[in-house]
Structure 1
């Protein structure tokens, strides 16, 4: 009777290393120190397993390269840079330059050290040996990190997007590659001033494709980042659900704070609407006076004037809406700016504005909104019901303030950096 074949000791150590990284990516206790302790415990066991391999089974160059790679990978599982990890990974790629995973770990390790150009060279060298989706994703992430504060920021983020797309072409079903593309498009939205919503739509589509991969459902950052996109697309209910799901998966994220910011904004909008309609916060005579004072603004003949009640859901091309600013709505969300307006029919609506400075629009101003994006919100969250009409203005060119176009000096490229992991 023959004995069953024994598993290759290096293969067992590789499995232990993979389990270690799976723990890193899926274990999010309330106390972050508990995670570090757990990683330390598991990494010690993985190293012990690696060291139990008899010397004669790690003497050949290929075996030695794998051994050094696994030791470096296990040591590099922690957030902080470890020189010992870099030393082992450097030995590994010298012994076997075609070991792609070792190059990937080495690039990540050097990144932790803070030497971003060296990390880029390492990953680029690895990529020159053949296409690899993991290395392309890592290079994409690195380019986004390098873009922070760089003069060619937008160019580096565009390169990041390109690397992400290249990774997807290698495996269109890989959720991590789609997630990386979503992050790249979201970063591009912030870098270019937080006003081009087409970038958000690209990001959201990438996240939706990422969610099709079962392995990604344990990633709290996917939920957080997708919720961030929905927040800026003003899909409030989806944003709230996403942030809440992220908070449940990783209490260390500030997702609960994001939920509260949105709820505070919605409560403020709802309360202002209630005061106006139910409690006469804006006196009837004043409301009528404001509505009747809306002056006729000269517009291109291609535009048709309309009131808020005639708006269609979504983008209303070649339509212009006039409104008086009743209130500036202060809140904790950096962008967009929120206002409460009334039209010539004395119908109140919420206006969200991107791309202009906060001092450009004042209470009492007349705004003419061109090609407005209209939404009618009617949903409940935690037993609170929200119902209001809203117009979103993405570009300053879509708005006239007291009949005048917004000047370049009045524009603002909002410098917001996503709280998502880049």
Structure 2
């Protein structure tokens, strides 16, 4: 084959490859109000991409490498849709047989087989691709697949930690790649859920990764980034950031349930504000809290009122309060209560990893090493202001002077309700 013929063949394959890449760009960035419009656009554009590929004359796709590239591009184009397509798998399988060094074909084949539900074979494809050399995209896919494989297993926390490590490997190859940072954020968030949804450090790691991802202009069209970052802020009780993130996700992709999350959060905040400004009379509060100042404390802890707490973790400090209300809301966790201290100052208590039956209205509660936050922000013209305390462990809570038993601990994770 002459150099001119090879050049023409390369140009034709380059055009087909560009069309295939643009097809995936549409899949990842186009979110019309009507999802059927996206399906229709993908069908139209994939048909055009296949026509462009088939326009390459047979004599210019005779060599094993050219045939492998042709099969790879055809399989990739066919696989752009959410559902599994056997034709796509067949073409991608031919591609890797013709050219086992074609890493992109291994990646696409793994993605295609994943849709079929054969997770072990999909992982094998990614592993074979990585045997050709380090690759950030494949490491990200492997990390994602491991999170999927972890679901429902006895050692899911260990498998998710492998996902975190592979995500970090991808970043080490390109610290400016937003998708790799986004994947690490998802891995850390999943680790938070599967390990019991209590470790704030995992949330902070996730948030930092998402913030790095946001620096990549290409990620600004990713609604899942806004949505997952909002989930992190929700569990960090950064309510304003969470609301803004969910709203941004909804604007980018109306198909997400992001506005439902906004409504649930606003409903919770409105209920808290209503209870805080309710009609509990001063005399009743005085009666309810009169005995709190005499509650005995472990000498290792200094007694404090809610007004004396510092932002963040208050080590070697204990506060005592009376439970006025259990705040019902629509999310799985945490549980919220309205408490009042001996100074008759009301505050919100959020409790993680503890059954709601452990704390009841009217109980006297001692909180050890409380994590304090002063909430003060406005949303859609309404101002929310309240003092908030968070506890994550059974050991931090005494109810009516008694420690909580292990039966009060929530053993299951909340991963099923929050899948990043």
The TM-score range, normalised by the shorter chain, is: over 0.9
Asked whether the equivalents of residues 192 and 413 of structure 1 are also in contact (C-alpha less than 8 Å), the reply is no
Structure 1 residue 73 displacement after superposition: 0.3
More displaced 10-residue stretch of structure 1: 254-263 or 58-67: 58-67
Structure 1 residue 318 displacement after superposition: 1.0
Counterpart Cα distance in 1 of 2:379 and 2:132: 52
Higher RCO (Cα < 8 Å, 6 or more apart)? 1
Matched length = 414
2:69 alignment partner, one of 43, 66, 69: 66
Question: Is 2:190 the counterpart of 1:187?
Answer: yes
Name the residue aligned to 2:34: 31
Question: Is 2:193 the counterpart of 1:174?
Answer: no
Unaligned runs of 5+ in 2: none
Question: Is 2:366 the counterpart of 1:372?
Answer: no
Cα-to-partner distance string for 1:302-323 (whole Å, 9 max, x where unaligned): 3110001111111111110000
Structure 1 residue 297 displacement after superposition: 4.4
Question: Is 2:284 the counterpart of 1:269?
Answer: no
Name the residue aligned to 1:349: 347
Asked whether the equivalents of residues 323 and 339 of structure 2 are also in contact (C-alpha less than 8 Å), the reply is yes
Unaligned runs of 5+ in 1: 276-280
Structure 1 residue 389 displacement after superposition: 0.6
Asked whether the equivalents of residues 221 and 420 of structure 1 are also in contact (C-alpha less than 8 Å), the reply is no
Counterpart Cα distance in 1 of 2:14 and 2:418: 35
Asked whether the equivalents of residues 227 and 239 of structure 1 are also in contact (C-alpha less than 8 Å), the reply is yes
Cα-to-partner distance string for 1:16-48 (whole Å, 9 max, x where unaligned): 000000000000011111111100000000000
1:319 alignment partner, one of 317, 320, 337: 317
When residues 420 and 304 of structure 1 are mapped into structure 2, their CA distance, relative to the original with a 3 A threshold, is closer
More displaced 10-residue stretch of structure 1: 396-405 or 326-335: 396-405
- Root mean square deviation of aligned Cα: 1.4
More displaced 10-residue stretch of structure 1: 58-67 or 246-255: 58-67
User: What is the DSSP-based 3-state SS (H/G/I as helix, E as strand, rest coil) of the residue aligned with 1:344?
Assistant: coil
Name the residue aligned to 2:286: 288
1:157 alignment partner, one of 141, 157, 160: 160
Asked whether the equivalents of residues 293 and 342 of structure 2 are also in contact (C-alpha less than 8 Å), the reply is no
When normalised by structure 1's length, the TM-score is: 0.96
When residues 335 and 176 of structure 1 are mapped into structure 2, their CA distance, relative to the original with a 3 A threshold, is same
Counterpart Cα distance in 2 of 1:28 and 1:59: 39
User: What is the DSSP-based 3-state SS (H/G/I as helix, E as strand, rest coil) of the residue aligned with 1:359?
Assistant: helix
Asked whether the equivalents of residues 190 and 414 of structure 1 are also in contact (C-alpha less than 8 Å), the reply is no
Q: Which runs of 4+ in 1 moved over 3 A?
A: 295-300, 418-422
Question: Is 2:142 the counterpart of 1:139?
Answer: yes
